[in-house]
Every structure is written in C-alpha cells, then in structure tokens.
Amino acid sequence: MPGYWFDNAICLTEKAGRFEAERRSIEVVGGSIAALHPPGGPKPPRLEFIDASGLIAVPGFVNCHSHSPDNLARGTAADLPLELWSLTSSALRERRSHREIYVSTMLGAIEMMRSGTTAVLDHVRISPDIDGEALDAVASAWLDSGMRVVIAPIVSDKSVIETLPFDEDDLAGLDLSAYGSRAPLPARQQMTVVEAFFRRWHGEADGLISVGIGPSGPQRCSDELLAAAGDFSRRYDTILHTHVLETRLQREMGFRLYGRGMIAHLDGLGLLTPRTNLVHSIWLEPDDIGRISAADAAVIHNPVSNARLGSGHCRLSDLLKENIRVGLGTDSACCNDGANLLETMKWAALLHNLRSDDEKTWIGPQTALRLGTSGGADAIGLPDTGRLAAGCAADITFFRSQAPAFQPLNDTVRQLVLSESGSAIDSVMIGGRIVASGGRCTTIDEAAIWEEAQAFADRRRIDGVAAQAAAHALEKPIRRMRQRYGKLWAAGGCACH
Ligand SMILES: [Zn+2]
C-alpha cells in the first residue's frame, strides 16, 4: 500500500492561528499528507481505506524540551528547587552503559507516542563527559522508535561549582573533586564530538532525525564554547537549544559573570537568532522581551517543570503579545514527572489565569494547542510538521470521539485540551507510519524495555550510592547560598545592580 485514506474524520485544521473542526478525508501518501478532501468524494485507488468517521484527527503534538537520560530516574527526585533537585538527577545519570542510555530513551518514546506526541527535542546530557558512542545509543533508540526527533547534545565546559553564585565560605573545607569541582572536557573537544555526531545522524531515518546543539546554559559554558555552538548552528543551519534564566539564582549568576543580563550577553555573542531556543526564560530583564522578539528567537515554556521545581512564572502572555515564537516542553521525567503534552497544554492554557485579572491576556485552549503543535514545530525547526495540511508530514494523532472527554461534543479544541488525558487515543501516525494503536506502541516491544528498565533502576539504586554521595557533598553549600540570597531578596535587594 502506498498510503492511507482516513475517511470522514473530524479534522482540527489551523487557519490564521485558530483551529477549526471540520469533516475531511485525509489522503496520506508516503510520509506526507497529500490532501484533505471534503467527505463523500471518490478516493484514489490503492490506498488503505480506514473508516475514520468516529475519529478526531489532530496534528501530532510537539514536545520542545525533554531529556531522555532522565527517564530511567523517574520518581527518584524529591520536591526540591532546581539547584538541590539536580544533585540527585545528575548522580543518577553518571557513567551509564550504552544499553541503559538506549533503554532510557525508549522509555520516553513509548510514553510520548502513546500520549500523542509525534516529535520531540531531546536535550541529551551524557555524564560525566559527552561521548560519541553514547550519543549513538540515543540516536539508535530514536531510530528504532520511529519518532521524529531533534537531538541537541548538551555541551558544558565548567565545573558545577563555577556555575552557581557561591561565596568562598560556602565551599570552605570540602572535597568536591569527585563531582562539584570535576573538570569537564575542553570546549573544542566537545564540539568535535558533536560535529561528528551531526555528520553521522542528521537527516537519517528518512529525515525523522535531525541534530542540533544544546549548550546546557550560558552560566555553564565558557564564552568560547557558546561562540562555537553559535557557529555550529549557523554553519549547519540547525537549532541551538539552551536553558536560560530558569531560576532567580541563575539571574544572579548572570550578573556576577557578565555584569549584565544573560539574554543581553547571548545577544552580544550573536547567539540570538531564529534558530535559537531559549528554554524557560523566566527571570528576564525588562528589555529582554524586545531583544528576543527582534532576533526572532523562540522561547520554550515548561509549565509543569517550572511548578514542580518552584522556578518561577514565565510571562507567556507578554511573550506572545510581542509575537515571540513559543513552543511547549515537558522537561525531564524527574521534574515533571511525565512526558504527556496534553497535560502540559492544559497547564499552559490555565496556569497564567492565576497571574492576571484581565481575561484577555489568558492563554486558553486554542493558543495552548497551537503552541503544542505548529508553534512548537516552528520553534524547533520542523516547519512542515505540526499541521493537518496538504504537503505537511503525516504526523497525526487520532482520538476516538466515543470517549468521556468528547461526549457530548460541543467544542472539540476545548475538550481536547481541557478534558482529554490521552485515554481516548486510537492511533498515532508519524511520517505516514502507524507507531501506536490500541493503546500500545507498534514499533517497540514495550514489555521488554520496561523489564530492562526496572533491572537497570534497581541496580542503579545500589551501585549509585557513591555517585549520590559525591553530588550531595554540594547540598550544604547550596543551602547556605540559597539562605543568603533568600535574605537578600526578602529585604528587597539583589546582587545584580
Ligand atoms: Zn531541561
């Protein structure tokens, strides 16, 4: 069969940024949507016919920020702010075997494809140092899963203690050589690994796999490394994906390092471009929104993670008012702790109502769905996905209309974003291939992956004790630092100016 004919589905098509529900028959040929036909017309011969009259066809969701290595550590991290939370998650990522890395990636693929996500940006950290074969294990898993992915390997060339606004007293007398003060690989060596990885994998799997570059965060990279990452993004015309201003302490660190805001610093280095993803962007300076908008950089909003870690409130409606492109992400399985974009869209739709009495600034389900589909696709460099339209990739999630969330059916978009959890998903298609059906991934032996994952997690709890101890040597200094800044902020001050 060269393709499919989904007959008479309720299709969510986007016109001028708003979704409409209309009955259409979807013609899929190869990996693309060939056309959307008014119902009742003749179907081209040789297509597999599917009666879709009981289905709602939605553009596959686009998860713009995740970390596949963290999937194996789901459920391990306590309720802590980022700087303390990361000690546990970092230790659990240390010195993974290639098979652990592969299985961890597959866990995310299973969860996302089952919940209707068809494309993801994987911001991958390999610990302790970036490594080509480990990255190959990540890419192999994505290849086997059938998901569309942008892999952005994390680069970072500062030791952990250089990335946080410690005072000397905070660290006095501690041996931090096993984790906190450990020296990473030099910038040039890291970029060589990423360049080779790009050449091996970019465009593979009929274009399902692409490769970007993922500086961990400005404060975690030398300016030399940031400039090299910017150069890489420019030369290969690919995404530069970086955490930025996730916490208030990071804002303090930016001023300590640069004497100005982090966004201004990135701009000064030429790193604000339409290829740039600014992940989180919570603690912005007054003129940052103008800078981001002028550069046409994109912001990736992770509402569940921001709440889980108490990081702060992203000014989403202000960003959208300035026409800044925004995508949505789930972030890590340790700080969400899921990867369900339906849930993230609901948070994005509602969370911001708490911050404004003016309902005209509220996000709502229409905008949340756009950010979770076409908006996200544009942000991570996949402009031909995230849409039900002729010529776009056949990345489609089909929901059963005979399900609690859609009964009675009054407003398909509102009910999809606010009522549906993923339990009504009938099937998921990526690049013209069915990857999930009847509640299961068709491309992955789920039970085998889960069995392996459990064994790895059990072993890691025992074998990872030394790594946890090494990372948690920083717990007291971080608590001291947080206390100091907490007092400063409570007194109305900050160290920035
Ligand atoms: Zn993240």
Question: How close is the Cα of 96 to the center of ligand 1, in Å?
Answer: 19
Is 478 inside a domain boundary?
no
- Tokens 């994987």 correspond to 122
Query: How high does pLDDT run on average in the chain?
Result: 96
Question: How close is the Cα of 401 to the center of ligand 1, in Å?
Answer: 34
Whichever domain contains 54, its CATH number is 2.30.40.10
- Tokens 């713009």 correspond to 64
Which tokens belong to 300? Answer: 């990736």
CA-nearest of 70, 131, 65, 152 to 105 is 70
Of 20-29, 306-315, 417-426, 486-495, the poorest mean pLDDT is in 486-495
Buried-exposed string 241-264: b where 16+ CB fall within 10 A, e elsewhere? bbbbbbbbbbbbbbbebbeebbbb
Query: By percentage, how much of the chain surpasses pLDDT 90?
Result: 91
More confident residue, 470 or 144: 144
Element (DSSP H or E) covering residue 349: helix 341-350
163 with 270, same domain: the answer is yes
Contact by Cβ (8 Å): 94, 128 = yes
Q: What is the pLDDT of residues 337-370, one digit of tens each?
A: 999 999 999 999 999 999 999 999 999 999 999 9
pLDDT of res. 485 = 95
Q: Which of 417, 441, 465 is the last residue of a domain?
A: 441
pLDDT of res. 238 = 98
Is 481 inside a domain boundary?
no
Is 468 inside a domain boundary?
no
Is 238 inside a domain boundary?
yes
Question: How close is the Cα of 359 to the center of ligand 1, in Å?
Answer: 30
Contact by Cβ (8 Å): 444, 145 = yes
Q: What is the pLDDT of residues 428-458, one digit of tens each?
A: 999 999 999 999 999 999 999 999 999 999 9
- Tokens 């450990």 correspond to 182
Neighbouring CB atoms inside 10 A of 364's CB total 17
215 with 341, same domain: the answer is yes
Question: How close is the Cα of 243 to the center of ligand 1, in Å?
Answer: 6
Question: How close is the Cα of 362 to the center of ligand 1, in Å?
Answer: 25
- 365 SS3 class: helix
Asked if pLDDT for residue 307 goes beyond 70, the answer is yes
The torsion angle over the Cα atoms of residues 456, 460, 463 and 467, rounded to 10 degrees, is: 140
Contact by Cβ (8 Å): 230, 240 = yes
Question: How close is the Cα of 332 to the center of ligand 1, in Å?
Answer: 6
Question: What pLDDT band is residue 45 in, cutting at 50, 70 and 90?
Answer: confident
38 with 67, same domain: the answer is no
23 with 132, same domain: the answer is no
Asked if pLDDT for residue 486 goes beyond 70, the answer is yes
Question: What pLDDT band is residue 304 in, cutting at 50, 70 and 90?
Answer: very high
How far, in Å, CA of 435 to CA of 449, rounded? Answer: 16
Neighbouring CB atoms inside 10 A of 48's CB total 11
Asked if pLDDT for residue 496 goes beyond 70, the answer is no
Element (DSSP H or E) covering residue 437: strand 433-437
For 132, counting Cβ atoms within 10 Å of its Cβ (0-12 exposed, 13-18 middle, 19+ buried), the class is: middle
Compute the 3-state secondary structure of the chain and give helix, strand, coil in percent, each to the nearest 5. Answer: 45, 20, 35
How far, in Å, CA of 190 to CA of 158, rounded? Answer: 12
Question: How close is the Cα of 340 to the center of ligand 1, in Å?
Answer: 15
Question: How close is the Cα of 393 to the center of ligand 1, in Å?
Answer: 27
372 with 433, same domain: the answer is no
321 with 423, same domain: the answer is no
Asked if pLDDT for residue 495 goes beyond 70, the answer is no
Q: Which of 356, 379, 402 is the last residue of a domain?
A: 379
Asked if pLDDT for residue 40 goes beyond 90, the answer is no
pLDDT of res. 1 = 53
Helix residue ranges, H only, 20-93 = 82-92
Contact by Cβ (8 Å): 413, 19 = yes
CA atoms within 13 A on the CB side of 116: 30
Q: What is the pLDDT of residues 400-436, one digit of tens each?
A: 999 999 999 999 999 999 999 999 999 999 999 999 9
Rg (CA), the chain: 22
350 with 257, same domain: the answer is yes
Is 447 inside a domain boundary?
no
How far, in Å, CA of 60 to CA of 148, rounded? Answer: 10
223 with 300, same domain: the answer is yes
Domain assignment of residue 421, given as a range: 3-59+389-441
Question: How close is the Cα of 357 to the center of ligand 1, in Å?
Answer: 30
**How many domains in the chain?**
2
Question: What pLDDT band is residue 382 in, cutting at 50, 70 and 90?
Answer: very high
ipTM of the complex: 0.99
230 with 123, same domain: the answer is yes
Question: How close is the Cα of 271 to the center of ligand 1, in Å?
Answer: 19
CA-nearest of 460, 454, 446 to 96 is 460
pLDDT of res. 497 = 56
299 with 406, same domain: the answer is no
Mean pLDDT of 40-61: 93
Which tokens belong to 371? Answer: 């950010």
153 with 66, same domain: the answer is yes
How far, in Å, CA of 453 to CA of 447, rounded? Answer: 10
Amino acid identity for residue 288 in this structure:
D
Contact by Cβ (8 Å): 57, 398 = yes
Cis peptide before 337 (omega within 30 of 0): yes
Q: Which of 354, 379, 404 is the last residue of a domain?
A: 379
How far, in Å, CA of 497 to CA of 495, rounded? Answer: 6
Is 476 inside a domain boundary?
no
Question: How close is the Cα of 36 to the center of ligand 1, in Å?
Answer: 37
pLDDT of res. 493 = 84
Whichever domain contains 216, its CATH number is 3.20.20.140
Query: By percentage, how much of the chain surpasses pLDDT 70?
Result: 99
Neighbouring CB atoms inside 10 A of 359's CB total 8
Mean pLDDT of 458-469: 89
309 with 418, same domain: the answer is no
pLDDT of res. 463 = 87
Contact by Cβ (8 Å): 181, 477 = no
For 111, counting Cβ atoms within 10 Å of its Cβ (0-12 exposed, 13-18 middle, 19+ buried), the class is: buried
Is 91 inside a domain boundary?
yes
Question: How close is the Cα of 247 to the center of ligand 1, in Å?
Answer: 12
Is 335 inside a domain boundary?
yes
Looking at the DSSP bridge assignments, the partners of residue 210 are 150
CA-nearest of 462, 454, 493 to 107 is 454
